[in-house]
Structure formats: structure tokens, C-alpha cells
Amino acid sequence: MEAVKVIDIIGSKSAVSPRTGLKAYDFVASEVNQKHSLHISFEGVEDLTSAFCNSFIGKLYMNFEPAALNSLLHINGVDTSHIWYKKIQNAILLGTNENARTLHKLNLEDVIFS
């Protein structure tokens, strides 16, 4: 299956702000809701922040069952030794961790976007 590039989804090589992260989230969430399998590639991205990852990937893992998401969504284009890989993993961690809401006593959306 051909990968969909993040830069094509958001229309930019800068994956920096939460609002562009939400743009990516909306695209992938629509596909996942239809049970479509898809590969998302970070190839071509020049800038990536935790805020983007949280509002995109973190929110996916918060709103969808992780096991189901893992079977449909495949992320590539980031070397595991790259600093960006850690940002993506942290976003997944935050999105899947139910304790985040309790520990913060805050709306989880606020945590994701903190």
C-alpha cells in the first residue's frame, strides 16, 4: 500500500503547530473510522514538534482503541535513532495512558495540548 505523506496531508514541510497536527488527525481519523488501513510517512518533513505529535498521533491513540489503531495505522519515514521518533512515541504514550487525566486532574485534551 502506498504511504500517504504527512507533508501532503498538512500542505507543509513544517509539522510544528497543534493546529496542523489536528489537520493530520482529522484526515487519519476519517480513514480509521471507515476501517481503512493506511501507511503514514514522515518523509519530507523538515520540522517536527511534540505539540504536532500530541495533537495528531496522541489524539488518535486517545480517541481510538490502541489495538485497533495499531492494526490499521502504520507510521514510517522516521529513523528510530532520530529525535523525532521519541516525540512520536511520547505522543502515543500520552494518548494511551489513562492515568494522565487522573494525575493532572485536568481535561485530557488540555494535557495533550500542554
Alpha-carbon distance of 41 to 75, in angstroms, equals: 6
State yes or no: residue 94 binds other proteins (CB under 8 A). yes
State yes or no: residue 16 binds other proteins (CB under 8 A). yes
Candidates 3, 4, 12, 85; binder of other proteins (CB under 8 A) is 12
Candidates 40, 51, 62, 69; binder of other proteins (CB under 8 A) is 51
Helices (H), 14-105: 18-33, 50-53, 59-63, 66-72, 83-96, 99-104
Selected range binding other proteins among 1-9, 29-37, 45-53, 59-67, rule: CB under 8 A: 45-53
